Amino acid sequence: MDILEAILKVLVIGMIFGAGLPALFAIGMRLHSTGAGDAGADGTISAPNPALKALGYLFFAIVIVAIIVGLLWVTRQTLSYYFDWRIFPAWAYS
């Protein structure tokens, strides 16, 4: 049963990061472009919306932080061994 639980955990995390981060990035791109204000197909110009642009930047920041934390998590043992950096809780370094 332990193997099945481990496989399910990897599957769930893979779905979250495999599809979740690109989806957040796409939503951020859409919010940013909508907030920038642009000419429509019929020639009308929509006014810029700073709140949507800021929300788009927030989504970009979430994606960047998730990538940085993921890289630090993968390299945590190496960083601990060579530089004695322990940025995660003690249970992560067993």
Residue 14, pLDDT above cutoff 90: no
Distance CA 58, CA 82 (A): 34
Q: Which pTM value belongs to this model? A: 0.74
Model confidence at 72, pLDDT cuts 50, 70, 90, reads very high
- Determine the straight-line distance between the first and last CA of the chain, rounded to whole angstroms: 23
pLDDT score recorded for residue 48:
86
Helices 21-36, 50-74: inter-axial angle, 10-degree rounding: 160
Residue 2, pLDDT above cutoff 80: yes
Distance CA 87, CA 64 (A): 18
What pLDDT digit, counting tens, does each position of 16-70 carry? 778 888 999 999 999 998 888 876 667 777 788 899 999 999 999 999 999 999 8
Distance CA 29, CA 23 (A): 10
